[in-house]
Amino acid sequence: MVEPFRRRRQSRPGPRVERGAAIVEFALVVPLFLLLVMGIIDFSNAFNDYNSVRQGVREGARQIVVADWSTDGCTSGTSSVRAACVTRARVGLNTADTKVRIELPSTYAPGEQVTVCVMYPFRSLTGLFSPVLNGGVARSKLTMRIESIDETDPIATYEDTPLTGQGWSWC
């Protein structure tokens, strides 16, 4: 007699074969995922530094045009040195790497304009994107009208030594 419903044995991969495929897929996906995560970390840090530089220039310039540069612990030196110190403090990043230039017209009087420029180097936190980020610079320039002056210690043009390989020609 013929068995009408003979079950055929179907061959399908067992767990061992699937486990091997999963390991191969994992090995292919993990490097791409890590590259994406490290890129997000490095470039978001660079973007944050850029925003800090822009905000700090705006706040530092505002302090300068109202002749109030005695805040943030910047109490020694000439008015120009204190104004640069306040700008560095307002940027809020590593003050040793924050370079400031303050440019004034020939006459220091209300109604004239002051230009404040800041540069700060980008750095890779993870090291993976250091060829792209290291050597890059966040720059910001802002010009504001002078509202009040300090007649006892007038501010003058001030310039830090620029970062290595950089200059102030853009300012």
The residue range of the domain holding 125 is: 16-159
DSSP per-residue codes, 126-144: SSTTHHHHTT-EEEEEEEE
Domain count along the chain? 1
Q: Does residue 7 lie in a domain region? A: no
Do the beta carbons of residue 71 and residue 98 sit within 8 Å?
no
pLDDT of the residue at 15: 57
Pick from 158, 157, 65, 62: which is nearest to 109 by CA? 65
3-state secondary structure of 50: helix
Q: Does residue 11 lie in a domain region? A: no
Q: Does residue 170 lie in a domain region? A: no
Q: Does residue 25 lie in a domain region? A: yes
Q: Does residue 166 lie in a domain region? A: no
Q: State the pTM of this model.
A: 0.81
pLDDT of the residue at 129: 92
Q: Does residue 120 lie in a domain region? A: yes
Q: Which residues, listed in sequence order, are joined to residue 120 by a DSSP beta bridge? A: 138
DSSP per-residue codes, 90-101: HH-S-TTT-EEE
3-state secondary structure of 155: coil
Pick from 118, 120, 122, 148: which is nearest to 133 by CA? 122
pLDDT in tens, 92-104: 999 999 999 999 9
Given a cut of 50, the residues of the chain with pLDDT beneath it are none
Q: Does residue 168 lie in a domain region? A: no
pLDDT in tens, 107-123: 888 999 999 999 999 99
